[in-house]
Chain A
Amino acid sequence: MTCDLSQTRLHAYFDGELDAMGAAEFERHLESCPDCETRLAAEEKLRSALAGAQLYARAPENLRKNLLISLPKAAVPPPLKDPKPSAAESWRWLAIAASVILALLLGTQYMEKLNRHLQQQAMAAVIVDAHLRSLQPGHLEDVISTDQHTVKPWFDGKIDFAPPVRDFANDGFPLVGGRLDVLEGRSAAALVYGRRKHIVNVFVTKTQPGDASDRSGELQGYHWVAWQQNGFTFTAVSDTAYADLDQLKQLFLAP
């Protein structure tokens, strides 16, 4: 290995942590540097092996139960209506206490924020469901094309708005196709992008009052990032890294 370029640059590129200019510069370097190409391939291989090995250890049920018991104990005991509550009722109070603590854990002292969080969780569930559904065989795209000028007109007449369809192949997000979807009863244009070996769904709906702007989250190992732009609400979801989704968002926001 003779390449002088700093190792961290390669990793930052690999992790999608370089800005657009830095990434373009590194890609130019890559064309003439077989060393870096080999290293990058080795990183890809390690990452897909780690992802494929399913090493993520989910919290056991036992821990959830213990937290439900121990966290309310640490809190002020909740007032009970009935002096002799039934076992089921105690559990309900514990659940309520736990949800209050959940709000506290999120750094919010107000139920309003808890509500917003729960709405966000519900939204995350809808998005992740739609993403998973799309990954079932034959569901991913209704129009298969890497050409934005094919995908965009395809939506004409099928949906009551013209979603902005753009290809970001040069930035590492090639357009794969599009399809129609329904999110919480609203029609959505789903744009499908590739990201290395991952699939990214970008759901586009018409922005409605009350739509959360600039949010992001994680559910079951899937990340999602939502933002608003020109009257549309965009929600990108994938099992790829946050940083990747953020980069895609920036690409959409760029003129």
Chain B
Amino acid sequence: MPHRDAAYNLARWILRGRAQAEDVTQEAFLRAYRSFGAFQTGNARAWLLQIVRNCCFTWLQQNHVAEEMTEFDEQTMPPKTEDPESLAMATYDRERLQRALEDLPAHFREIIVLRELEGCSYKEIAAITTRPIGTVMSALARARQQLRTLLTEPVPKGASRDL
């Protein structure tokens, strides 16, 4: 099955759990199969990932996952400035990165995963998330900044989620 890893990886990070990611990936593949008529030519990966992320957000809504679900809006979320000292303090071990990425709002999580883990271009991310490219660009800048902020915060007590 092509793009199986890409689909699962995106679901795993949006949903923050393996079992949910398996269920939702399977559902997304079924949905993709049933609606393949709507897909003619072009980027099969982007088309499939768009279905996956839609299934993920539906799942989050249906399961009332308590998290920030509001769409990224540049007007209400103006960029903050970072000072170089805090940049230097960020720690980057695997556990911290995993936790910080999971602590990002869902719409930031997906954009970091698509760009940094999946290597998608801006154009692909715009297609997958059905947002204008300009919004993708500002959301990505904000997501990276917030990720770094989370990495500079003191480590909270508590068990880490499994990967």
Contact = CB atoms under 8 A, between A and B. Distances in A.
Interface residues of B, number: 61
Q: Is the interface of A mostly helix, strand, loop or mixed?
A: helix
Interface stretch (A21-29, A43-51, A126-134, A138-146): A43-51
A136 interface: no
Contacts of A43: 144
Contacts of A75: 33
Interface string B17-29: 0100110011001
Given A11-B144, A47-B116, A106 B44 contact: yes
Given A39-B82, A60-B22, A107-B39, A55 B101 contact: yes
A117 to B, nearest CB: 8
Interface stretch (A82-90, A97-105, A172-180, A183-191): A97-105
- Size range of the chain A interface in the assembly: 35 or more
Given A8-B141, A63-B25, A242 B121 contact: yes
Given A11-B137, A53-B94, A104 B8 contact: no
A40 to B, nearest CB: 11
B1 A242 contact: no
A70 B26 contact: yes
27 contacts: A7-B79, A7-B138, A8-B138, A12-B122, A15-B115, A38-B84, A46-B90, A49-B92, A50-B117, A55-B13, A55-B98, A55-B163, A57-B18, A59-B5, A60-B18, A64-B1, A70-B29, A74-B33, A101-B33, A104-B36, A105-B33, A107-B42, A107-B47, A218-B6, A223-B119, A242-B124, A243-B121
Interface of A: 1, 7-8, 10-12, 15, 17, 38-39, 42-43, 45-47, 49-51, 53-60, 62-64, 66-67, 70-71, 74-75, 98, 101-102, 104-107, 117, 121, 218, 221, 223, 240-243, 246
